[in-house]
């Protein structure tokens, strides 16, 4: 196991240990990581998402697809607490997280990236990742101001962990650059690195391949698989790029007009005549 994992375990303490135990006991079993029951949200007269059910197993790579305006990002926003669902319930690893704030939801183990990249633009690449480790760091503000030993110890640990993460995404060479100055593809990767820095159980990726050329997409697919295996991560992603979806997703849910159109194994779903009609029209 890499140094990264070791450090993670040290910093993360109980949460990480508990997670490992859970993984260990159910070793890639059929345990559910995320369960969504009858999730709906209403904006004025519009029912943007209507009665969505989802069940994502641990260690799974799950895809959420659908035409533009189908309500995919709205689902993400409900899962991460940005929007409060009108009805329905969300369970993460058996815990009900419905209606919690984005901060609480991140603490309970969901991290995400954004469709329109949201980095901390005026901060360095390294600091972007370190911000993600905020909650796994124990030193207090006073300890930081007085520069007590714990500050130095934990800052050093954070930097090491952040560098390890950056190495995974081949961003270590630019760690001192301003994140706004990174090329587009690397900004997307940095967002994933920042999300992983929060030690999530479930990673949500909102159109990770948007704006990438075929080579970059290919590379991204490898990275996503690598992340899943290396961090034992469960990943839910929204994507329009069918090559990526069919290449890495094990199961899919197709949304159309806020409702589930099809659900199941990737190849079966993609050959479903209903899905083809929704995408291509009659």
Provide the binding-site residues for other proteins, judged by CB under 8 A.
73, 77, 80, 82, 101-103, 106-107, 111-112, 114, 118-123, 127, 130-132, 134-135, 137, 139, 141, 144-147, 151, 155, 158, 176, 194-195, 197-198
Closer CB to other proteins, 135 or 259, in the complex: 135
- Label the pairing between strands 251-256 and 61-65: parallel
Residues linked to residue 111 through DSSP beta bridges, in sequence order: 203
The CB-of-127 to other proteins minimum distance in angstroms stands at 6
How many angstroms separate the CA atoms of 201 and 58, rounded?
A: 9
Closer CB to other proteins, 96 or 134, in the complex: 134
Q: At what angle do helices 214-230 and 184-197 cross, to 10 degrees?
A: 10
Which has the closest alpha carbon to 238: 249, 227, 229, 228?
Answer: 249
Torsion over CA: 8, 110, 132, 150 (sign): negative
> What are the tokens at 147?
């520069």
The CB-of-140 to other proteins minimum distance in angstroms stands at 9
The CB-of-82 to other proteins minimum distance in angstroms stands at 5
Closer CB to other proteins, 134 or 271, in the complex: 134
The CB-of-18 to other proteins minimum distance in angstroms stands at 17
The CB-of-202 to other proteins minimum distance in angstroms stands at 13
The CB-of-276 to other proteins minimum distance in angstroms stands at 30
* Residues present in the chain in total: 282
Closer CB to other proteins, 70 or 197, in the complex: 197
The CB-of-179 to other proteins minimum distance in angstroms stands at 9
* 173 CB neighbour count, 10 Å cutoff: 10
145: CB partners within 8 A, 6+ apart: none
Closer CB to other proteins, 107 or 167, in the complex: 107
How many angstroms separate the CA atoms of 274 and 261, rounded?
A: 7
H-assigned helices in the chain: 3-12, 14-26, 72-79, 102-108, 125-132, 141-146, 149-168, 184-197, 214-230, 242-248, 266-270, 273-280
> Distance between alpha carbon 139 and the CA centroid of its chain, in Å?
26
């Amino acid at each position: 196991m890499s140094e990264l994992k070791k450090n993670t375990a040290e910093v993360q303490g109980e949460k990480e240990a508990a997670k490992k135990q859970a993984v260990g006991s159910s070793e890639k079993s059929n345990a559910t990581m995320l369960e969504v029951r009858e999730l709906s949200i209403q904006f004025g007269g519009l029912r943007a998402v209507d009665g969505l059910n989802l069940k994502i197993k641990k260690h799974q790579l799950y895809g959420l697809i659908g035409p533009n305006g189908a309500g995919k990002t709205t689902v993400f926003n409900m899962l991460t607490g940005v929007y409060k669902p009108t009805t329905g319930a969300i369970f993460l690893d058996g815990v009900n997280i419905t209606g919690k704030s984005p901060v609480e939801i991140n603490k309970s183990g969901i991290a995400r990236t954004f469709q329109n990249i949201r980095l901390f633009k005026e901060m360095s690449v390294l600091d972007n990742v370190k911000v993600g480790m905020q909650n796994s760091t124990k030193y207090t503000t006073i300890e930081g101001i007085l520069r007590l030993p714990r500050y130095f110890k934990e800052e050093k640990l954070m930097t090491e962990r952040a560098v390890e993460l950056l190495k995974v995404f081949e961003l270590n060479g630019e760690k001192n650059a301003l994140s706004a100055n990174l090329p587009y593809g690397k900004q997307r990767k940095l967002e994933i690195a920042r999300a992983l820095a929060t030690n999530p159980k479930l990673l949500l990726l909102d159109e990770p391949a948007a704006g990438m050329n075929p080579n970059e997409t290919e590379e991204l697919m490898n990275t996503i698989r690598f992340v899943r295996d290396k961090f034992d991560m469960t990943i839910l992603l929204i994507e329009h790029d069918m090559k990526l979806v069919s290449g890495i997703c094990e199961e899919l849910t197709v949304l159309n007009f806020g409702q589930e159109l099809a659900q199941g194994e990737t190849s079966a779903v993609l050959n479903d005549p209903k899905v083809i009609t929704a995408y291509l029209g009659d």
